[in-house]
Amino acid sequence: MTNSHSKVDSTTADEGTLNTLYAASFTHLLSAVVLMQSTLGLVTKQCGGESTKVVSTLQFMASSSAASELLLNPLLGTLSDRIGRKNALTLVPIISLLCRYSVLKNPGSMKALYASRIFASALLPAFFTLVSIVATDVYGQHPNRKVKFMKKEMRQGIVMAVGIVVGSILAGKLTAKSVVLPFKVSVMLSALTVMLIQFFCRETIAQKATKPLSLANFNPFSFLTLFTRQGLPKVESPPQLEPVAKRKARKNLRRLYITKALQSIPAFMPPDIPQMYCRSRFGWGPEQIGKYFAVIGVSSFLGHMVSPKFQAACGEHATLASHMAAFFGSTLQGMAFNSSMLYASVGFSMLGVGAPTRVGGAIAEIEGSQGTLMSYQQSAQANMVTVMKIVSSSLHGRLLKKGMAAKAEGTEWMIGLPYLANALIHILAQLAFSGVR
């Protein structure tokens, strides 16, 4: 009886740590979002205002940042097994703070700007991956883990949506005053993130469970195991499944991971692309762009709130409905000839936020039922998403450059090519998901 009571107390305390980490996720995200427009402003200044050069520079930064994630995700995951989750989480905002402080001290340095955009930006998703690993510590063996993980995804989605709203408004107002001022705010927010983790979080991995730091545990290409017949490493005594059930589970998982990979391309379009799009197509300034991103954040927040009811109303066709809503949203964004059409597209996109959550919940349920080591699964999945980020930044950057060149020659609609490509990808994601049985 004592052991049971102790276990409940421990779980409650760990859930309290997760709640604190949502607050830390907010401040850490905010420290990045406030720099959204100032980074573009500094790059534009360094490139002499030449649009093609600006897009190429930003595309290189985004691709390099995603490539850095490919190394950072497994490294931090492995490091957290050695030094503990709390210390690994603290390390992320400290490095981000140092990178952004270097820009603050020398805003004319492209080296400092590259370090901030590439490494500090790469650490943003790495932070969320570590939060997911903490969630697996808390819920990995929970009998109702699918619901727990879906609630965690929803809460983290709400945190990100609110962070984007607040950060976008701040970014517009601060950048309008000075392109350097957002870096001062970012440094302070990073410091606040460190304090939240250090003073209000507890360690969720037992000291006896920590593992030696070994290169054997560091594999930036671990995502490839998501698609193999053997799958991911399992716990010491995994559940024994019938061969037919096992094959079916692996087949479904491969389709789910393909769906997840495709969903990642439009989801992780670099924020520089919409900014350049709005500037070129509508002639918007920092505050107008900030308001637009704030509306996107509000719609994302509302989307996570109404998504459960929307999907319940759609029943077994919920994922199809979400993908189709995202398709119409991306199509409207790409074909928008005025700001009213652009804002109208946000409503459709709002209803499309539920599809990734359903796919993530299905993956967690199947992997968990097979006794998969969920911390390894989170790291491998994050690496897969990172690879798709590289694809996303390269694809969207090339399409935007092609669209801007076509616009200069009089074919204005082609500047929306990045969004029209997203519309097609949403259809492909649904086709991949439709094979899950």
Segment holding 293, helix H or strand E: helix 286-314
- What is the DSSP track for 43-65? HHHHTTT-HHHHHHHHHHHHHHH
Q: Decide if pLDDT at 12 tops 60.
A: no
Residue 1 confidence (pLDDT): 36
Residue 197 confidence (pLDDT): 94
The region of weakest confidence among 215-224, 234-243, 427-436 is 234-243
Residue 383 confidence (pLDDT): 80
Q: Alpha helix locations (H) across 47-180?
A: 51-83, 85-105, 110-115, 121-139, 145-177
Please give the model's pTM, rounded to 2 decimal places: 0.75
370: helix, strand or coil: coil
> pLDDT tens digits, residue range 144-166?
666 666 677 777 777 887 888 89
The region of weakest confidence among 17-21, 130-134, 300-304, 368-372 is 368-372
Q: Decide if pLDDT at 108 tops 90.
A: no
Residues 231-266, buried b or exposed e (16+ Cβ, 10 A)? bbeeeeeeeeeeeeeeeebbebbbbbbbbbbbbbbb
> pLDDT tens digits, residue range 281-298?
998 988 899 889 888 888
Cα separation, 398 vs 313, in Å, equals 39
Q: Which residues pair with 234 in a beta bridge?
A: 372
More confident residue, 94 or 371: 94
Kindly indicate the confidence band of residue 228, based on its pLDDT and cuts at 50, 70 and 90: confident
Return mean pLDDT, the chain: 83
Q: Decide if pLDDT at 6 tops 60.
A: no
Main-chain phi, psi angles of 342, to 5 degrees: -65, -45
Q: What are the structure tokens assigned to 397, written together?
A: 């950057």
Cα separation, 373 vs 379, in Å, equals 10
Residue 255 confidence (pLDDT): 92
Q: Which residues pair with 372 in a beta bridge?
A: 234
Residue 4 confidence (pLDDT): 39
